[in-house]
Structure 1
Amino acid sequence: MPALASTFTPFPVFGHRSFRYKAHFIMTVVCVAGSTALVFAGFSLLNVSKGNGSIAMISAFIIAFALLLCVFVIYNLTNMNIGERKREIATLKVLGYRDGEVTGYIYREIFIMAFIGALLGIPLGCALVGFVFAYLDYGSLADIKWWSFVLSAAVVLVFIGLVDLLLSHKIRAVDMTSSLKSID
């Protein structure tokens, strides 16, 4: 049996059937970029709060709700993606691919889209923080520590990984017979 990597491109999002679900791609990238920007804003406010407890509470609130937003949207998008691709998943299973290979195929696409969103979210977050600092006349982009940039993207990607783990059972549960019998 050929390995999954030899059958499919390493970056299926950019393959010949690329962006088959363009709306999912756009929504995932926008969600992750927005969440990353908000998490970055929260960490940036923490960097400059220097003993200001109220700003630290606002920062924690922003970070928590940005991550919750990301979890809910990514969960729903991934759930829809799995539902729309049941025939494809069932075909791979019938061809002998193991659950881990099929799951990796689906989640590799999601991770690539999330990574693009996280990369776009950092500059978006810088613009947001710049606006907030100018509006409040408090702090500057120069006050932001380097770890805020890295941690913002990393935390969002970790939460997306957790959502993917929660949904892996749905891929394993795809019934090959009924999925292949269904008419699109």
Structure 2
Amino acid sequence: VQVGDNIKMTLDSKTVNVNVSGISEMYAGHFVYMTATYYQELTGQAQAKNSYLVRLKNGSSKGIRKVAANFLALAGVAGVSQNTSLIKQVETVSSSLNSVMLILIVLSVLLAVVILYNLTNINVAERIRELSTIKVLGFHNKEVTLYIYRETISLSIIGIVLGLLGGYGLHQAILNIIGSDNIMFNPSVALYVYLVPIFAIVLILAILGWLVNHNLRKVDMLEALKSVE
């Protein structure tokens, strides 16, 4: 349904066509708002209040159940609708998703460590003679390390950019899939959600860079330059 469309509603046992003048996002439940004048225009009679919105000072589950039972015991009360059950449902789903996301984050960090570590080790092993040559020619240890580590840093930066863009789109798609007719999850995320993975990758790169530099210092460059034969 878009703004300007008509939808059918039942008001006072009468089916009417209601024009949609605006749409609001509801994260839990559905509500329709209309003015008293438009209600009278649709039904031909004045709007009569038949319900009350009650906010309790004691918002605990026990207090809500007690007050709801007292309301239902009154002859003039036809029913009581509680928002707490819907809120609990949202909180339960969110808690389950947080547990799954935590596992995925830990696995992603471990995968990043394995990939970057193996990529760097393979790069060093395949180009050890090349590294030995530039080391013998007088390059400093840091220059020798950066000779191959620049490639890892560049690939990591590209991966961070693509990962953030892809992660944003995947996040929106997942929220649309797991949402139901009565629940919509907030699509906005805090800034730290993007900063934490960037910091994690930078930290991994820094630690691996130190390890590569330390290992290259111990390699016998002259021995590596000897012919295999």
Band the TM-score falls in, shorter-chain normalisation: 0.5 to 0.7
**Could you list the per-position Cα deviations for residues 81-130 of structure 1 after superposition, in whole angstroms to 9, with x for gaps in the alignment?**
00011011101110111212211322222111111111111111112212
User: How far apart in 2 are the matches of 1:139 and 1:158?
Assistant: 32
Q: Which sits farther off after the overlay, 155-164 or 73-82?
A: 155-164
Matched with 1:165 is: 210
Q: Which has the higher helix share?
A: 1
The amino acid that maps onto 1:139 is F
Change (3 A) 1:161 1:105: same
What is the Cα deviation at residue 55 of structure 1?
2.5
Would you say the 8 A contact 1:90–1:179 is kept in 2?
yes
**Which one has the largest radius of gyration?**
2
Matched with 1:94 is: 136
User: How far apart in 1 are the matches of 2:107 and 2:227?
Assistant: 39
The amino acid that maps onto 1:104 is L
User: How far apart in 2 are the matches of 1:106 and 1:118?
Assistant: 19
User: How far apart in 2 are the matches of 1:58 and 1:156?
Assistant: 21
- Structure 2's unaligned 5+ residue stretches are 1-89
Structure 1 length-normalised TM? 0.64
- Root mean square deviation of aligned Cα: 2.6
Number of positions where the alignment pairs a residue of Structure 1 with one of Structure 2: 136
- 3-state DSSP class of the match of 2:206? helix
- 3-state DSSP class of the match of 1:65? helix
User: How far apart in 2 are the matches of 1:51 and 1:84?
Assistant: 49
Q: Which has the higher strand share?
A: 2
Would you say the 8 A contact 2:135–2:144 is kept in 1?
yes
What is the Cα deviation at residue 144 of structure 1?
0.9
Asked if residue 65 in structure 1 is aligned to residue 65 in structure 2, the reply is: no
What is the Cα deviation at residue 161 of structure 1?
2.3
What is the Cα deviation at residue 50 of structure 1?
9.8
- Structure 1's unaligned 5+ residue stretches are 1-47
Percent identical residues? 33
Asked if residue 179 in structure 1 is aligned to residue 221 in structure 2, the reply is: no
User: How far apart in 1 are the matches of 2:147 and 2:226?
Assistant: 22
Structure 2 length-normalised TM? 0.53
Asked if residue 139 in structure 1 is aligned to residue 139 in structure 2, the reply is: no
User: How far apart in 1 are the matches of 2:176 and 2:205?
Assistant: 32
